[in-house]
Amino acid sequence: MHYRERIFTILLSAFVLITFGLTMSCSAQTEDQALKSLRDLAKNDKLPPEDFVASLESRYAGRKTGALAKLLHARIKFENGDFAGAAAILNTDVIAKQTRLGDYALWLKGRSLQSAGNHQEALNAFTAMLKDYPASIRTRDAKIGWATSAVAT
């Protein structure tokens, strides 16, 4: 079974790279098409190639697609264990201004800082998340994260 999963992963990666190449070769891609490509590649908790997401982030900076790409880029960094890199990407208010995912961005920033061992800054991120988004579905997790970092400091 492990062998079949490996083959599937290789084939999926090849498909993503081919899709990435075709997407990037189309220079007339609109923002809506880029957003659809980003959503298609990220659905079902799959993470697209970091280079693709970073290119969308820079190409559509200051717009909704760029902000969503920034958030996904941070999540890719987090999932790959680059917690400081994820926190650095999230050190902005662009996501909150351009999307309705400001709570998730602050929560992920807090988790990233916490995982990087920077508990004081994690406290600040969780506090901001709790203050700015008291009705968020991540409130409970943010309170637990805040308490964990408070104990660690």
pTM of the entire structure? 0.79
User: In one letter, which amino acid is 147?
Assistant: A
Q: pLDDT per residue over 33-86, tens digit each?
A: 888 888 887 887 788 899 999 999 999 999 999 999 999 999 999 999 999 999
Taking 70 as the threshold, does the pLDDT of residue 18 lie above it? no
Instruction: Evaluate whether 148 touches 123 at the Cβ level (below 8 Å).
Output: no
Instruction: Evaluate whether 48 touches 38 at the Cβ level (below 8 Å).
Output: yes
DSSP for 56-81 reads HHHHTTTSHHHHHHHHHHHHHHHHTT
Instruction: Evaluate whether 142 touches 136 at the Cβ level (below 8 Å).
Output: yes
User: What's residue 3's pLDDT?
Assistant: 45
**φ and ψ at residue 75, rounded to 5 degrees:** -65, -40
